[in-house]
Structure 1
Amino acid sequence: MGYRVAVVGATGNVGREMMAILAEREFPCDEVAAVASGRSTGTEVEFGDTGKMLKCKNIEHFDFAGWDIALFAAGSGPAKEYAPKAAAAGCVVIDNSSLYRMEPDVPLIVPEVNPDAIDDYTKRNIIANPNCSTAQLVVALKPLHDAATIKRVVVSTYQSVSGAGKAGMDELFNQSRAIFVGDPVEPEKFTKQIAFNVIPHIDTFLDDGSTKEEWKMVVETKKILDPKIKLNATCVRVPVFVGHSEAVNIEFENELSAEQAMEILREAPGCMLVDKREDGGYVTPVECAGDGATYISRVREDPTVENGLTLWCVSDNLRKGAALNAVQIAELLGRKHLKKG
């Protein structure tokens, strides 16, 4: 006996990835509903590689009663309007937007990092999925924090355009093509040209000069991992289609050598250590695309601080940063709370 699962936002990048991962991981579904906005009603989306096509249902008329889990990948607007309705109907919502992440009575979950926090889902019947850049970071930090207690993190991100949705991917493609043929380039989705460029600006600016994306990394890491960790982030959009990269500098309370850190990361859940210290002996976004692991390379000691390490972290932002993590939360929910059969 399986679950009835609704995927809300099924026509978007993350929604399609959720469908693919549900099928790929053989999540026990008795029924899957593709749900989207009114303009996508009737659009067919594929359920992974099964060959099964699902017609999208209009979220405005969708009845969540009798459904077990709803994976929301539709943004904060639909999540604000429809997630509480789904939750009230007895359907557990796993939401990928930023709307509920910092609500004190909504658990923010990365299953490899804080699985026990899921026990609090009953307060609202809503579980939050973290920001894509935060998810891969805390997977890498968790085993090191357990070993030597992290005091401070400085992270610079190199985030792919898929983090801005299909419009971001289309803009990179169209601008690249325009530059090659000598056509003018006009930014639309991004604030400046993204092709052959980098933009140190993701989301809106805050009063202190940081961006909301940088703020998310700070507060979400504290909520998921440890409120005592100090973190400073600089988030940069780069001309890569899929895969976020992060250069991470970590200061610990206790001594931890690079060799010890590599041994820990080699065995850590969700992590894949690739650190050969030779040409090509590290992972880039091209290699991580389509994979669920958080890849870690370039682990080395930082001689400028006591008990410091630096590492390079890469992950597919559509998978571990969004869709895969949501499905892993659903799997955890099934194991701990929604047992069937």
Structure 2
Amino acid sequence: MKENSDINWIAQTGFGIKVYSVEYQVPQIHENILEIIYCLQGSVKFFYSYEEFLLQKGEFISADKDAFYLYAGKDNICVSFYFDLDQFSKKYPYIKDILFICEGTSDAESGYPSLRHEEMKGALLALLYYMVRTTETCMEAAVLSQIQRAADHIIQLMVDQFDILYYYKPKTAFTQVQIERHRELQGYMNRHKFEKLPLRILADRFHLTAKYISEFLSRNGLPYQDMLTYLRANASEAYLLGTELSIVEISEACGFSDVKYYYKAFRKWYRCTPREFRAKYRAAEQQEQMDYDIDLRSLREEIEHQILEHYMKAHLGQIGENLEQLL
């Protein structure tokens, strides 16, 4: 299991990058780091939880902090964008409690492509282009400032467009009050997920009624019990892969009153049992990692081409796509 290795962090930005080709990547985890994987060339299979996505050229996907994943492919070039959430928590106090879903791939179930996906793709390509310039200008202050602004913009897009709230209620126009209340409730639940947490405790904490909280969460995202069991099941990944505890012991450690409820919740969210999840990722850990780093400077022409393609498609529609094919 790899953690936070081989990342090129850009000083004072909270942003890091890695450019590489991968045939097989052992299970990864990045504590308090949000990662976005962009497929620059070829294709790569991305395994997240127990789901599988095929990223084609120009597609991307995010991996939440503290989540385990692995990926495999051949003849590809990938870019991983890393964002240290601690560096962004002053502006976004709940950022480490937000669950992000950003699936910019045709395998997604979240309405891809959309304007928000296109905006994110443009921001990722812009940041990648700034990074190419950085390698050529030896970190001039102006370029470093561009990198910082681009990284800030991507985080803002994640917060404003790819919160799990928008995944489950994509057509709802949330008010700022609703968003902040949802993040307060979800944040509290995340920080106390291993404890006994009946609705009345949240009601007392936020001076609301249990009925109001239940109806609010059901209308604006996941129902209370679904959210709580997801947070607990998600946290159990670390126990399944990082310890030798039994399934019963993990169930208790993660706040489930009975192991049967743990199995039910895990199967609901992961489409497999905890035992199957452990077996799959433990087997993957035994495989040989096969990847190699790539010099970003060698990719400038490809990056510029994708920026042009993206711009023409976004602003000229079908005409732009036809023109791009002639270039």
* Structures share fold, TM-score greater than 0.5: no
TM-score by length of 1: 0.26
- Give me the TM-score of the superposition, normalised by structure 2: 0.27
Please identify which structure carries the higher helix content.
Answer: 2
